[in-house]
């Protein structure tokens, strides 16, 4: 103010001031235009960033949903394939094979799609699932080859390896879904981080004009974050829980077990229970899957009410698991197992239905056993070892029958390890001739002369020594090598028997699995023909159970064999499920009385009457009778008095290799009874 009064402004100075004002206004206008432009640019950037973020979030969510759907498709396809395979084996209906192949195709398509959606860093889970699926399909197709019998197929479906591979498939798929959830969460965090940096840069350039927009954007992001957090929680729950029962799923059960194992104190122990609903398939078949689902819900609720500690999970299908921490003596586990049976086996009322179900329980305690675990290399994890042991205990409980429980025992693991070893070796053993025939004489007890031999398999194992058939025959049946083993033994036997007298017969046992093989007759005739062995000296032995499982097919095969001159004997008569009806359906040449009737013959009057009845029945049907398991002279005399003249057992001779059979036919050594 003072300077202005003292110094008058000249026109030049006024013009300069006006120019300065104009310049300032111009600058201000330019600044305002620039500010407005910056605001517009900021708005555009914010809008673009928001649209891009939303688009990427939608893509991530859709990709996650598609992976979840693909995972569900794999699990559903696996369940359908298993059900179709079991139905095909049970009903012998080829249409189930078509459904099985459709389910396998569904799994393959889903696995291919999963590979397309899965990042490279978690592709390992797809590879594990694919490998497990390939092994399952291989076992199922072996079970269904030429529509094998229920016994043969069931031995595969109930094998520990089959259940183990199904566990790997389910765990891999669930792990994939969980890892994809983690990848989606990581992607969301990266997007949020990028969004914050962009927003901060725009805020610094636009200054106050973008405060409102920033507030709005922050609010929008907050709402989006809350929505995503809610979706994340829901997806996490879906990834770790069973949607039907609300229990933890298999993956979460294993994770909880791992957490318990790593965190419990010295006085805290962990038990793992595995449970399987008995005859659940019958519920589904009779009343439909809706009723079956309700039954599973009831079982889940009852199990959840049994304990307020640990974890209860549905592991898949009708299988459940319980993780139970305890500090006292292990007697509490036995009591808990009994409580499970008592509670779950209570009748279930659904509408007008009253269902009685059973449950089998296997359990084990999670303990470190160091190098004593023969399968430690395969598992590589205490958690997996414990899980497998509980599963073995469950299998043992099922063997006992419905409504039983069983604790894991150490020899189960060794037995499984031995079986796995034999399964890997048996095919090579057949080809290399390690499995050889031994011969036990069939004796006419009136004269003591040998009239033939029964072929009994022995495995000359290079490290385990001489193995009896009870050890490796079940392995051969479950691996599908029983047919080739029988043909190999028959080929060796007919060559060994060429030097025997013409009256000496050769008896060979057939597995129930083989009675479903339509090429059986041709293979037997070819083997006999190549060795120039008369088929009239050949006798085929089958068990009663084989008839029950394959009645129509077995009768056709046996009728053709008899027509060609091969003798047929019914082995172990009285020990299985057959009856007089089967003797009427097919006329056997011989009945071999099971050793269970012979063992106490000299001291049990009831057994004597039973054997007398069998001998009279066989005589009326014009069949010979052979007593198995004769171990002393007194039993031999009793049988002769009853009228049974043919016998077999250790009293006469144990099974011998071929080289030791020749002396039975020398004149001075031919009588086995003095």
In which region does residue 361 sit, left (phi positive, over 0), alpha (psi from -120 to 50) or beta (all else)?
A: beta
**Cα–Cα distance between 356 and 284 in angstroms, integer?**
14
Average of per-residue pLDDT values in the chain: 80
Q: Contact 406/340 with Cβ under 8 angstroms?
A: no
Give just the sign of the alpha carbon dihedral 573, 575, 581, 586.
negative
Cβ within 8 Å of residue 275, ≥6 positions away: 303, 319, 320, 321, 322, 340, 344, 359, 360, 361, 362, 394
Give just the sign of the alpha carbon dihedral 321, 325, 330, 335.
negative
The string of pLDDT tens digits covering residues 477-528 is 888 899 999 999 999 999 999 888 888 999 999 988 888 888 899 999 999 9
Cβ within 8 Å of residue 564, ≥6 positions away: 521, 525, 535
The string of pLDDT tens digits covering residues 575-599 is 765 566 677 778 899 999 988 889 8
pLDDT at 429 over 60: yes
**H helices of 309-408, where?**
331-344, 376-379, 382-400
Q: Contact 392/327 with Cβ under 8 angstroms?
A: no
pLDDT value of position 121: 65
Please choose, from the candidates 281, 267, 426, the residue with its C-alpha nearest in 3D space to the C-alpha of residue 358.
281
pLDDT value of position 36: 59
Cβ within 8 Å of residue 438, ≥6 positions away: 455, 456, 457, 458, 655, 656, 657
Which residues make beta-bridge pairs with 435?
459
User: Sorting pLDDT into bands at 50, 70 and 90, what band is 5?
Assistant: very low
Other Cβ atoms closer than 10 A to 115: 13
Sole residue written with tokens 């497990």: 132
Architecture of domain 25-240: Up-down Bundle (1.20)
81-95, 112-126, 213-227, 522-536: range with highest mean pLDDT: 522-536
The string of pLDDT tens digits covering residues 282-310 is 888 888 889 999 999 999 999 999 887 88
Which residues make beta-bridge pairs with 363?
273, 407
pLDDT value of position 585: 73
pLDDT value of position 377: 39
Task: Please report which helix (H) or strand (E) contains residue 321, including its range.
Answer: strand 319-326
Return phi, psi of residue 505, to 5°.
-90, 165
Distances (CA, A) of 563 to 505, 512, 535, 558, 568: 17, 21, 11, 9, 11
**Cα–Cα distance between 302 and 280 in angstroms, integer?**
16
The string of pLDDT tens digits covering residues 320-371 is 999 988 887 788 899 999 999 999 999 999 888 888 888 999 999 887 655 4
pLDDT value of position 371: 46
Delimiting residues of CATH 1.20.120.1730 domain(s) in the chain:
25-240
Q: Contact 535/525 with Cβ under 8 angstroms?
A: yes
Cβ within 8 Å of residue 572, ≥6 positions away: 543, 544, 592, 594, 628
For 286-300, the DSSP string reads: HH-HHHHHHHHHHHH
Distances (CA, A) of 534 to 24, 436, 520, 540, 560: 124, 21, 17, 14, 16
**Cα–Cα distance between 563 and 549 in angstroms, integer?**
23
Please choose, from the candidates 499, 439, 447, the residue with its C-alpha nearest in 3D space to the C-alpha of residue 672.
447
Q: Contact 450/443 with Cβ under 8 angstroms?
A: yes
Helices and strands, number each (H, E), in the chain? 23, 16
Please choose, from the candidates 301, 320, 299, the residue with its C-alpha nearest in 3D space to the C-alpha of residue 249.
320
**Cα–Cα distance between 132 and 169 in angstroms, integer?**
5
Return phi, psi of residue 145, to 5°.
-60, 120
Rounded to 10 deg, the angle between the 410-432 and 382-400 helix axes is 80
At residue 277, the 3 state secondary structure works out as strand
**Cα–Cα distance between 64 and 306 in angstroms, integer?**
36
The string of pLDDT tens digits covering residues 184-210 is 677 767 767 777 776 766 666 666 665
Which residues make beta-bridge pairs with 291?
none
In this structure, the strands spanning 505-509 and 348-350 are: unpaired
How much of the chain, in percent, has pLDDT values that exceed 70? 80
pLDDT value of position 153: 67
At residue 455, the 3 state secondary structure works out as strand
250-408 folds as Alpha-Beta Plaits (3.30.70)
Distances (CA, A) of 614 to 470, 543, 547, 580, 598: 27, 16, 18, 10, 12
Cβ within 8 Å of residue 556, ≥6 positions away: none
Global pTM reads 0.55
The string of pLDDT tens digits covering residues 522-543 is 999 999 999 999 999 999 998 8
Delimiting residues of CATH 3.20.20.450 domain(s) in the chain:
419-665
For 589-611, the DSSP string reads: SEEEE-HHHHTTTTT-HHHHHHH
**Cα–Cα distance between 187 and 194 in angstroms, integer?**
11
Q: Contact 171/182 with Cβ under 8 angstroms?
A: no
User: Sorting pLDDT into bands at 50, 70 and 90, what band is 15?
Assistant: very low
Domain 419-665 = CATH 1.10.3720.10:
no
Task: Please report which helix (H) or strand (E) contains residue 492, including its range.
Answer: helix 482-496
Task: Please report which helix (H) or strand (E) contains residue 253, including its range.
Answer: helix 250-263
Distances (CA, A) of 522 to 514, 515, 537: 13, 13, 17
Token pair recorded at residue 545: 């159970």
Q: What's the farthest any 2 CA atoms get from each other in the chain? A: 161
**Cα–Cα distance between 669 and 448 in angstroms, integer?**
10
pLDDT at 28 over 60: no
Delimiting residues of CATH 3.30.70.270 domain(s) in the chain:
250-408
């Amino acid at each position: 103010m003072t300077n202005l009064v003292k110094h008058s402004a000249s026109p030049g100075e006024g013009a300069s001031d006006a120019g300065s004002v104009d310049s300032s206004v111009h600058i201000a206008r330019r600044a305002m235009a620039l500010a407005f432009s910056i605001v517009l640019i900021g708005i555009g950037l914010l809008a673009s960033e928001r649209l891009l973020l939303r688009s990427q979030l939608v893509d991530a969510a859709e990709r996650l949903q598609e992976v979840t759907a693909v995972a569900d498709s794999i699990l559903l396809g696996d369940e359908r394939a298993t059900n179709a395979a079991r139905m095909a084996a049970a009903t012998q209906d080829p249409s189930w094979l078509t459904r099985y192949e459709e389910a396998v195709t569904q799994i393959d398509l889903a696995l291919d799609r999963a590979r397309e959606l899965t990042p490279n860093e978690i592709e390992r889970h797809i590879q594990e699932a694919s490998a497990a699926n390939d092994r399952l399909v291989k076992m199922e197709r072996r079970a269904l080859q030429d529509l094998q019998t229920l016994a043969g197929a069931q031995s595969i479906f109930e094998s520990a390896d089959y259940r183990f591979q199904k566990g790997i498939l389910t765990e891999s798929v669930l792990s994939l879904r969980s890892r994809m959830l983690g990848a989606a969460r990581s992607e969301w965090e990266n997007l949020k981080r990028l969004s914050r940096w962009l927003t901060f840069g725009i805020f610094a350039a636009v200054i106050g004009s973008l405060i409102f927009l920033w507030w709005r954007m922050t609010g929008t992001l907050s709402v989006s974050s809350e929505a995503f957090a809610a979706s994340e929680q829901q997806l996490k729950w879906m990834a770790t829980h069973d949607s039907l029962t609300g229990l933890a799923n298999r993956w979460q059960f294993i994770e909880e077990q791992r957490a318990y194992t790593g965190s419990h104190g010295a006085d805290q122990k962990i038990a793992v229970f595995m449970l399987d609903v008995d005859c659940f398939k019958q519920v589904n078949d009779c009343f439909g899957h809706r009723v079956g689902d309700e039954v599973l819900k009831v079982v889940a609720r009852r199990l959840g009410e049994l304990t307020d500690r640990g974890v209860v999970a549905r592991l898949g299908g009708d299988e459940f698991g319980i993780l139970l921490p305890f500090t006292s003596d292990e007697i509490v586990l036995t009591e808990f197992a009994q409580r499970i049976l008592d509670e779950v086996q209570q009748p279930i009322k659904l509408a007008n239905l009253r269902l009685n179900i059973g449950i089998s329980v296997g359990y084990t305690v999670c303990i470190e056993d160091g190098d004593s675990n023969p399968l430690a290399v395969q598992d590589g994890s205490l958690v997996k070892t414990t899980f497998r042991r509980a599963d073995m205990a469950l299998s043992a409980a099922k063997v006992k029958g419905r409504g039983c429980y069983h604790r894991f025992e150490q020899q189960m693991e060794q037995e499984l390890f031995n079986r796995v070893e034999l399964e890997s070796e048996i095919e090579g053993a057949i080809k290399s001739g390690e499995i050889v025939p031994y011969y036990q004489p069939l004796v006419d007890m009136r004269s003591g002369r040998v009239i033939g031999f029964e072929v009994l398999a022995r495995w000359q194992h290079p490290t385990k020594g001489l193995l009896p058939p009870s050890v490796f025959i079940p392995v051969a049946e479950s691996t599908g090598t029983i047919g080739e083993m029988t043909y190999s033994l028959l080929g060796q036997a007919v060559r060994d028997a060429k030097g025997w007298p013409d009256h000496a017969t050769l008896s060979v046992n057939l597995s129930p699995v083989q009675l479903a093989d339509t090429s059986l007759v041709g293979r037997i005739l070819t083997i006999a023909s190549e060795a120039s062995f008369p088929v009239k000296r050949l006798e085929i032995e089958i068990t009663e159970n084989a008839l029950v499982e394959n009645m129509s097919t077995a009768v056709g095969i046996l009728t053709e064999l008899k027509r060609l001159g091969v003798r047929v004997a019914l082995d172990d008569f009285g020990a299985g499920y057959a009856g007089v009806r089967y003797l009427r359906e097919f006329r056997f040449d011989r009945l071999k009385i099971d050793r269970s009737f012979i063992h106490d013959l000299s001291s049990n009057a009831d057994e004597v009457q039973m054997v007398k009845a069998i001998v009279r029945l066989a005589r009326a049907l014009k069949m010979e009778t052979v007593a198995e398991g004769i171990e002393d002279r007194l039993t031999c005399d009793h049988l002769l008095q009853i009228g049974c003249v043919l016998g077999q057992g250790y009293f006469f001779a144990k099974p011998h290799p071929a080289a030791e059979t020749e002396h039975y036919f020398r004149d001075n050594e031919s009588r086995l009874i003095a």
